[in-house]
Amino acid sequence: MQGKCGLFFTTYRAEAQVFPSGFQKSMVGLFLAILCAVPFVLNTHLTSIVNLVFISVIGAVSLNLLTGVCGQISLGHGAFLGVGAYAAGQCSVHGVPFPLAILTGGLVTALVGMVFGVPSLRLKGIYLAIATLAAQLVLEYVFLHGGALTGGSNGLLLKPPSILGFAFDSEIRMYFLLLAFAAGALLMVTNIMRSKYGRAFVSIRDFHLSAEIVGVNLFRYKLVAFGVSSFLAGVAGGLWGHYTGYISAEQFNIGLSISYLAMIIIGGLGSVLGSVFGAVFIVLLPEVLNALANTLAGFWPGIALHVVAMREGVFGLVLILFLIFEPEGLAHRWRLIKAYWKLYPFAH
Amino acid sequence: MEYYLQLIVNGLVVGSIYSLVALGFVVIYKATKVVNFAQGELVMAGAYVCFALTVQFHIPFVWAFLVTLVFSVLLGLVIERMVLRPLIGEEHISVIMVTVGMSSVLKSVVQLFWGTQIRVYPQVLPTEPVVIAGLPVAPVYIAAFILSALLFAVFSVFFKFSHMGVAMRATAFDQQAAQSMGIGIKNIFAMSWCIACVVSAVGGVILGNINGINAHIGHLGLKVFPAVILGGLDSLLGAALGGLIIGVLENVCDGAARQLLGLGGFREVAAFIVLVVILMIKPYGLFGTKEIERL
């Protein structure tokens, strides 16, 4: 399967490639081909779950850029998604074309994110976490009491998105739209991470004082991290709003922020692939629990009443167990599995 | 004027509960440097256990209260041993998220056992209001205030004079130095979780006596953050004052917003706006220790 034993680079260019080996390239191509075939095999319900996974992937990878790569803990990511959803939604309601609406949503969120990122210059670690928690709660209040801007407690109703007259009005059509956005977001973050900016972010995460001494402008790079991360969060929010066709303030509560943090922790901090794993895991978890409850309903009739409470408990339990037993997340496990099979059957 | 006076009195009562919960938070942070996002759920756990003992098992209130305290000590030990100890030395975000996960689990357990509807405590104290300075105040409010003050006094003395208290302060100051002086760090950590659980449970029981309880009183835990940031994350006095100030402030702001601007629900955010302002001006709060970083 593999030609040479290992990879030997002779140029920096070759080393900096996203997919250095031909084998990897073909595997990624194969995976994309499978992804394109998937919606024709799955039923509507399953396709809708995969669509939610795509949206969560965008949100998770954006949070991972901020928290995992740059080390700035944000408990307000859910509210940033909300800002994007409302901004893009308002644009759509006023007749702005869909791609422009999403872009505006992203830019508005980037601006809001940078405003809340300003304290990050003075605040570190838990203090920043608490400041972003405040941002989350203040934004939630604005969503609920924003009057005509957010529709208050009535929320906003949106039509399905359309590009140049082609309406994305079914799950399958939405699937390809969201797939394109998710792939774009992953590519964007991967590229940021191997650029000058990505290396600066990592240096800030590892130790901010050292970073500053070697010439990284802390304030500028932290603001950029907040800006880019919030931009992607805004895009994810805008897509989510257009996908469900309805935006309400309850969607973007603190629970959403926590589940995004859970995604990047379960997936693996600072890893693009980890964000994908985490998003898949957290979106599938409640669905699997529901399916399990439905199968068990025959033996235990009252279970349906307890599913909501159990879902939260299982979520917390999974989070705790991952932090204790697999602190580096699924991405780490994936690396171990790959290493095992690379050396198979001579693994020691 | 009387409207605002009433708001201030209500604020002081709510604030005294915030202070209690903040006390638990600060004790944990001081000794273990863990930011506990499950503080509100500890309040909830205590409140529900006491409720179950008095209402469902018909145990007299005083005994139920004592059993609740014992339960809280056990809960603290279990949490410290099972959840927090494996994470000693991990990054901030891991420790924060493990307490978040814990809060989910506690919430879920309470919902599984007791559902989400409001539960009302039996009346322990008389209901006729006592008139203080021309204002009617319910006795349970006075009891809440006195109990909080008493607990603060007890813990201040505990930290100042008792052997264990001094050991805990030493651990907070420098873990390695404390360990080399023969202090069992693990015991200190366990002790601080027990204390936090106990004071939270007391707060929960008081809260239950005032308003009744439902599965959402865990939100109280979020209100602790403005209080502790205002007072300084590692200061007991700061927790006491911060809780009271935040309680009064949010009640007055809420009342003012309702009366002057016609805005409802401002209570939920007033404290957090204050929080952001404090973080910008004086991030270490009124009495907090300034962190010094060296290369």
3-state secondary structure of B119: strand
Task: Write the CB contacts of B188 (distance below 8 Å, at least 6 apart in sequence).
Answer: B31, B167, B168, B171, B178
Q: Check A145 against B265: CB less than 8 A apart.
A: yes
pLDDT over 70 at A52, yes or no: yes
Of the partner residues A129, A134, A312, the one whose CB lies closest to the CB of residue B96: A129
CB-based contact, B257 to chain A, within 8 Å: no
Looking at the structure, give the CATH architecture of the domain made up of residues A42-343. Orthogonal Bundle (1.10)
The rounded distance, in Å, linking the Cα atoms of A32 and A101 is: 27
B291 to chain A: closest CA residue: A124
CB-based contact, B109 to chain A, within 8 Å: yes
Only one residue has tokens 């990897």, namely A24
Task: Write the CB contacts of B4 (distance below 8 Å, at least 6 apart in sequence).
Answer: B252, B255
Maximal CA-CA distance, chain B? 62
Q: Which pLDDT tens digit goes with each residue over B68-110?
A: 999 999 999 999 999 998 888 788 889 999 999 999 999 999 9
| B103 in Cβ contact with B110 (< 8 Å) | no
The rounded distance, in Å, linking the Cα atoms of A213 and A191 is: 25
Domains of chain A, by residue range, sit at 42-343
Q: Confidence class of residue A1 from pLDDT cuts 50, 70 and 90?
A: very low
The pLDDT assigned to A341 comes to 85
Predicted complex ipTM exceeds 0.85: yes
The rounded distance, in Å, linking the Cα atoms of B128 and B126 is: 6
Domains of chain B, by residue range, sit at 2-114+158-281
Chain A residues close to B295, C-beta within 8 Å:
209-210, 213
Q: Which of B207, B216, B196, B218 is nearest to B51 (CA)?
A: B207
CB-based contact, B272 to chain A, within 8 Å: yes
| B19 in Cβ contact with B1 (< 8 Å) | no
pLDDT over 90 at A201, yes or no: yes
**Gap between the terminal Cα atoms of chain B:** 55
Amino acid symbol at A163: I
The rounded distance, in Å, linking the Cα atoms of B235 and A215 is: 36
pTM here is 0.91
- The rounded radius of gyration (Å) of the Cα atoms in chain B is 19
Q: Which pLDDT tens digit goes with each residue over A10-25?
A: 888 888 888 878 888 8
Of the partner residues A73, A134, A327, the one whose CB lies closest to the CB of residue B275: A134
Q: Is the dihedral of CA A98, A227, B99, B103 positive or negative?
A: negative
Of the partner residues B97, B225, B265, the one whose CB lies closest to the CB of residue A261: B97
Average pLDDT, chain A: 89
The rounded distance, in Å, linking the Cα atoms of A10 and A170 is: 48
Q: Check A131 against B90: CB less than 8 A apart.
A: no
